[in-house]
Amino acid sequence: MHQYIPSSEDEQMEMLKSVNAKSIEDLFVDIPESIRLNKNLNLKGPLSEAEVLNHINKISKEIKTTDDFICFLGAGVYDHFIPSVVKHIISKPEFYTAYTPYQPEISQGTLQAIFEYQTMICNLTGMDVSNASMYDGATALSEAAKMASVVTNRKKVLVSSSLNPEAKKVLRTYMRFSDIEIVEIDDKEGTIDVDLLKSSIDNNTAAFIVQNPNFFGIIEDLKDVEEMVHKNGSLLIMYVEPISLSILKTPGEIGADIAVGDGQPLGNNLNFGGPHLGFMATTKKLMRKLPGRIIGETNDVDGKRGFVLTLQAREQHIRREKATSNICTNHSLNALTAAVYMAALGKNGLKEVALQCFKKSHYAFQQLIKTGKFKPLFDKPFFMEFAVSCNGKSVDDMNNVLLDNGIIGGYNLEKDFKKYKNTILLCVTEKRTKEEIDKLVGVMGGAIDELR
């Protein structure tokens, strides 16, 4: 594999000529001048390869990660332990190089990997059918909303305000260009305001989107919500955290029509925000409206087990103007990572991870409240994230103190929820030890006394 392929000026001109361009600048003619960088990059003079590597390594050492700091930050991306077998298997060349099964009949390994992933996602969510994955949780959610509009022929989607703010932003962008109205249902003490939902739902409502556990970490009670939504002829879309599904009611048990979420917690690294994968599952009734592709199991002419590309939204390839989705691929390697992780842990292992997250987060919560310096923002059941009030002190200042002590602090809720001023959202996964949690409590308690 070549890390760098040099080209001479004559070779560059030959390549430009082949695409009818006279200069490299011609390649960027579609980019407005106003947003181009019209100056040279601030780089040092020519360096040897060894000097460049030394320079890059020096810069990289200035970046502090979860390998250096203790992490209590969640808010959509989570620091879980990843067994070494995961990286070992996904690093095999046949998985690294196989992008997508364009020739299904000779892509049996890739098809089987996706099939196993789909099966596990169905088992995890309690739904009937899963696709091969989307780009991330936000795109899976947006595709689900668009799918609901197509299925119901309605143009309004109701969204719980306690949905991940980043996912909401992507959703609004998607719906803007699909002429679908987004109506946000404000929370009531951290959970769905059922009365507000009841007064907002109407005969143009395609779906209601709810996150569980929600962005505040709270476990929602969805019995009345599910009945109300379906009585109205709308779909219930659940945005879920996958690890929690091993101990909480699944979307299938609750009666959801579409289950989506971000698969990053399933063995995928934080990756500074990506790439991740979005999982998406639905009922048999809605299977043919599911975007992307579905892999199925069959027998060949000799009776041997084989895998086939059972369903895919063909209009994405041959009738794009009628497409219901603009995603016609999947994050295969990330989905494989999730499948290997789930297979390695098994049903009992996933449950153990979830229980440790639950118990350790509740221990951290209790210890913080016990100091008398923090108050619970909500009095509701939670999974592994919880919000506390910082006694009128700035969360950003609090996080700076934590960083000085080798701790990545929580999420400042005031960034996206103005009514929750000076409140911090903390996450405790199975990776955190009692000593680390006690250190968090001690540093936060001391910071309350020091900060003005």
Domain co-membership, 292 together with 368: no
Domain co-membership, 91 together with 74: no
Query: Which parts of 207-331 fold into alpha helices (H)?
Result: 223-231, 251-254, 315-318
181 phi and psi angles, rounded to 5 deg: -80, 135
Q: What is the spatial distance between Cα 354 and Cα 383, in angstroms, rounded to a whole number?
A: 8
Give the pLDDT mean for 178-185.
Answer: 94
Domain co-membership, 191 together with 215: yes
Domain co-membership, 288 together with 408: no
User: What would the pLDDT profile of 263-311 be if each residue is shown by its tens digit?
Assistant: 999 999 999 888 999 999 999 999 989 988 889 999 988 888 989 888 7
Vertex 238, ends 236 and 239: CA angle to 5°? 150
Report yes or no on 42 lying in a domain. Answer: no
Considering the entire predicted model, what is its pTM?
0.89
356 phi and psi angles, rounded to 5 deg: -65, -40
Report yes or no on 312 lying in a domain. Answer: yes
Q: Where in the sequence is the domain holding 234, given as residue range(s)?
A: 84-342
Instruction: Output the six-digit token pair for 427.
Output: 């996450």
3-state class (DSSP) for residue 359: helix
CA-to-CA dists, residue 39 to 21, 36, 224, 405, angstroms: 22, 9, 60, 40
Adjacent-strand bridge partners of 298: 306
User: What would the pLDDT profile of 83-126 be if each residue is shown by its tens digit?
Assistant: 999 999 999 888 877 667 767 677 888 889 999 999 999 999 99
Report yes or no on 282 lying in a domain. Answer: yes
CATH code, domain carrying 421: 3.90.1150.10
Give the pLDDT mean for 38-62.
Answer: 87
Domain co-membership, 330 together with 382: no
Q: What is the spatial distance between Cα 353 and Cα 341, in angstroms, rounded to a whole number?
A: 12
Domain co-membership, 338 together with 360: no
Query: Which parts of 104-208 fold into alpha helices (H)?
Result: 108-125, 137-152, 165-176, 194-200
Of 311, 342, 373, which residue sits at a domain end? Answer: 342
Give the pLDDT mean for 373-400.
Answer: 96
Is the pLDDT reported for residue 324 higher than 90? no
Predicted pLDDT at 3: 58
Predicted pLDDT at 1: 44
> Do the bridges between strand 407-408 and strand 293-299 make them parallel or antiparallel, or are there none, so unpaired?
unpaired
Domain co-membership, 402 together with 320: no
Q: What is the spatial distance between Cα 134 and Cα 260, in angstroms, rounded to a whole number?
A: 10
Report yes or no on 55 lying in a domain. Answer: no
20 phi and psi angles, rounded to 5 deg: 60, 40
Report yes or no on 181 lying in a domain. Answer: yes
Domain co-membership, 313 together with 371: no
Domain co-membership, 143 together with 245: yes
Domain co-membership, 148 together with 259: yes
Domain co-membership, 396 together with 324: no
**Which DSSP letter does residue 104 get?**
G
Percent of the chain with pLDDT over 90: 73
Of 342, 372, 388, which residue sits at a domain end? Answer: 342
Q: What is the spatial distance between Cα 438 and Cα 71, in angstroms, rounded to a whole number?
A: 13
Of 342, 370, 386, which residue sits at a domain end? Answer: 342
Domain co-membership, 237 together with 337: yes
CATH code, domain carrying 90: 3.40.640.10
Report yes or no on 175 lying in a domain. Answer: yes
Give the pLDDT mean for 192-221.
Answer: 97
Report yes or no on 27 lying in a domain. Answer: no
Vertex 390, ends 384 and 393: CA angle to 5°? 145
Report yes or no on 413 lying in a domain. Answer: yes
Considering its fold, how many domains does the chain have in total?
2
